[in-house]
A and B are shown apart, each in its own frame.
Chain A
């Protein structure tokens, strides 16, 4: 990848540009280093509502005008408010870059949150909360997070609850917007066919003069470790989802890469350990996977499977996790995991948007954009012994969660 070009706008915004003259496509990532985790518990879901209403009006555009402009350009625009970051991504053809940037600037700097739009999206968000129950793995993961994080904001369900969403008002959105959106927190990353000089000039014109008063936010409470629990969610389903969850580490921790490699070893791809042990050798599940969150504070590490033989799946999952703590993986196994992760890392930066998102996120989360270039070297430095030590530190005493029919849950022993 061509190294990014870094500069700063007049108002302190960091700007990263990668010049890719081959295809006439522009990808824009506007990120802020604060996310929904800064919102209090009784406003859980505020981030989701804010994301839904942000593009519904600016000082200069109605909701319909915004949608029409985007559609006229055939552009893509999406807003994600995650626990630790707020990210706006947009993609367009080169010829539409300047007007799209002007629209993005209006959306970021002068959203109006029309009352009727707030009410409409509030109702639709309540429906989304209801539908969330249909997503077994996602809703079980939320249950697990609620347990693992207790009073910490990571315990909040991303969509909020019926109670919190129903109580939100337009004033909450305006307040939440000022907490998240500020140039001091902002990193803009642009990857595309225009030159860095052209891009910087346009960004200076559209974003450089934005200079609102900074807003201080309260620091997070520390994560208080909890005792592992056994959670069950009765539901009408043929399969049972079996999940083991651990409190992992921060993406900024030196333990992150070893832990991440262990996650890929366990659950990434057809050659992964859990896929081989549960699916290929035992036929226990179709879906089996592992997941490690990327968070500024300690993130969940999860392994799970969907099965009609939950007892055997649970026993096998636990045995596999115990093995990781017993002894280091062999050198050849480790080398092949490193190669897998590295190769897929490179496959994951084929499009302009993938590159923009990766660089922008590294920069705003605190890893620094250089992490993208350092990643292969750092990855190769992790040894099986380092990973073994990390496994012993993090991957013991899981919280166990099961979602399935009441009949099945009654006969599974979680001891």
Chain B
């Protein structure tokens, strides 16, 4: 692999700060005519106060309803009428808005995009209609067994913490939100001084800076910023007080097969090193046919229809999860095998071949994503918002330097067998088999 070339791929070309505090990270990709712009705002469900639950996500919907000078739907027509695409997403930690357009259209589209995000009007009538849409989105989520499994997991993995709350809020909380609340929340959180704009694609750095400046520089913070303003802030370490084993059983009327999910809280996103090691461990345990759990549970025994491991990075604390689709009568023995495989890694470590393979898998994943401006803008924007523009590069370096001992250490440190949260979600009326406590 041509390392110097690849190292350069995962560093942004430049970082630039504007007078109003907006941070711009940019990556020039001369081969494409497409430019992707991803605007990151550090507000999500974890920043919400009681009485505001679901407001970040509702606001994300309302952003597309225009401003005093931009009618609802006008931006959608402007960008899609030029063959571009736009969308947005809200999580616990952040909200982001993105567009991908032909480079020649950016100059026209970007000022309107900036106006849409920073000048939101939140009109009353539109709010009432959009509330119906958000409630439909919540019912759709409630009908989905995988969504319900995830939500149940977060609720119990991070008890008493803002991460335990659903990003969408509850039916009651969303029903009670007012336009005035949304406007105040927008003023408080959509501050240029805390925003990151990530640009990637077929444009040179000078042009990127000039275009973003023209579009975003005219906006300032509506209110002075009192630090990070995190509600219920806590560091990763005090999220849980020692290992505990928690089992949560749920039923779902739409589920045809049972879901099993085991999870452990891990490290905050800025702990790049351990985060990367956890990702490597996830690949070794449960990604692809040669991984330990897929090999044994799907390929050898046929006890699961599918199984996978993931390390999810989050601002305050990430988590490591193992999820499977299976028959309820196999729950006990599948959990037993998962425990055996984790114990084996904790005691004997992984093989050099496994580690090399996992490294290559993650390296190739990054290499493949480097073809798409949208993926690059998203990666750079996320890492920059989370506090390090070089985070991606650091993660890339950690991939090279990880040792067998590193993997064994994180397996012991973060995946204790006497302390995990286990969620099962079964078809209604099914008796689940458990291993004896």
Q: Which residues of A contact B (CB under 8 A)?
A: 20, 22-25, 63-64, 67-68, 70-76, 91-93, 95, 120, 123-124, 127-128, 130-134, 136, 235-239, 269-272, 276, 279-287, 306-308, 336, 339-347, 350-352
A64-B371 CB under 8 A given contacts A131-B325, A280-B73, A284-B132: no
Which of A71, A73, A123, A136 has the most B CB atoms < 10 Å from its CB? A71
Partner of A285, one of B76, B133, B363, B365: B133
Partner of A276, one of B73, B81, B128, B363: B73
A270-B371 CB under 8 A given contacts A71-B361, A287-B140, A346-B83: no
A373 vs chain B, min Cβ distance (A):
16
Taking a contact as CB atoms under 8 Å apart, the answer to whether B371 and A352 are in contact is yes
Taking a contact as CB atoms under 8 Å apart, the answer to whether B133 and A286 are in contact is yes
Taking a contact as CB atoms under 8 Å apart, the answer to whether B129 and A134 are in contact is no
Taking a contact as CB atoms under 8 Å apart, the answer to whether B256 and A269 are in contact is no
B357 within 8 A of A: yes
Taking a contact as CB atoms under 8 Å apart, the answer to whether A120 and B32 are in contact is no
A-B contact pairs, 25 of them (CB 8 A): A24-B2, A25-B367, A64-B290, A68-B357, A74-B362, A74-B363, A74-B365, A127-B305, A131-B257, A132-B256, A133-B256, A134-B254, A236-B428, A237-B143, A239-B143, A269-B80, A270-B64, A271-B76, A285-B136, A286-B140, A287-B136, A340-B80, A346-B34, A346-B102, A350-B372
Q: Which residue from chain A places its CB closest to the CB of B101 in the assembled complex?
A: A343
Q: Which residue from chain B places its CB closest to the CB of A55 in the assembled complex?
A: B289
Partner of A23, one of B129, B140, B371: B371
A198 vs chain B, min Cβ distance (A):
17
B255 within 8 A of A: yes
B270 within 8 A of A: no
Taking a contact as CB atoms under 8 Å apart, the answer to whether A283 and B130 are in contact is yes
Which of chain B's residues 352-382 have a Cβ closer than 8 Å to chain A?
356-357, 360-365, 367-368, 370-373
Taking a contact as CB atoms under 8 Å apart, the answer to whether A134 and B145 are in contact is yes
**Complex CA distance for A63 and B128, rounded to whole angstroms:** 56
Partner of A124, one of B101, B129, B298, B428: B298
User: What is the size category of the interface that chain B forms with chain A?
Assistant: 35 or more
Residues of chain B within 8 A (CB-CB) of A136 are 143
Taking a contact as CB atoms under 8 Å apart, the answer to whether B86 and A270 are in contact is yes
Residues of chain B within 8 A (CB-CB) of A284 are 132, 136
B437 vs chain A, min Cβ distance (A):
28
**Complex CA distance for A306 and B372, rounded to whole angstroms:** 31
**Complex CA distance for A213 and B64, rounded to whole angstroms:** 59
A343-B1 CB under 8 A given contacts A76-B368, A134-B145, A271-B73: no
B384 vs chain A, min Cβ distance (A):
22
Taking a contact as CB atoms under 8 Å apart, the answer to whether B305 and A124 are in contact is yes
Taking a contact as CB atoms under 8 Å apart, the answer to whether A269 and B76 are in contact is yes
Taking a contact as CB atoms under 8 Å apart, the answer to whether B289 and A346 are in contact is no
Taking a contact as CB atoms under 8 Å apart, the answer to whether B368 and A341 are in contact is no
A279-B133 CB under 8 A given contacts A239-B139, A340-B80: yes
A175 vs chain B, min Cβ distance (A):
24
Q: Which residue from chain A places its CB closest to the CB of B289 in the assembled complex?
A: A67
Taking a contact as CB atoms under 8 Å apart, the answer to whether B136 and A306 are in contact is yes
**Complex CA distance for A351 and B132, rounded to whole angstroms:** 38
B137 within 8 A of A: yes
**Complex CA distance for A286 and B83, rounded to whole angstroms:** 23
Taking a contact as CB atoms under 8 Å apart, the answer to whether B137 and A286 are in contact is yes
Partner of A134, one of B131, B256, B288, B360: B256
Taking a contact as CB atoms under 8 Å apart, the answer to whether A238 and B85 are in contact is no
B82 within 8 A of A: yes
B372 vs chain A, min Cβ distance (A):
5
Residues of chain A within 8 A (CB-CB) of B295 are 64
A79 vs chain B, min Cβ distance (A):
13
**Complex CA distance for A143 and B172, rounded to whole angstroms:** 36
Q: Which residue from chain A places its CB closest to the CB of B305 in the assembled complex?
A: A127
Taking a contact as CB atoms under 8 Å apart, the answer to whether A130 and B367 are in contact is no
A25-B368 CB under 8 A given contacts A127-B257, A269-B80, A346-B102: yes
Residues of chain A within 8 A (CB-CB) of B302 are 120, 123-124
**Complex CA distance for A140 and B327, rounded to whole angstroms:** 24
Taking a contact as CB atoms under 8 Å apart, the answer to whether A238 and B143 are in contact is yes
Q: Which residue from chain B places its CB closest to the CB of A129 in the assembled complex?
A: B256
B30 vs chain A, min Cβ distance (A):
8
Partner of B129, one of A120, A280, A345, A352: A280
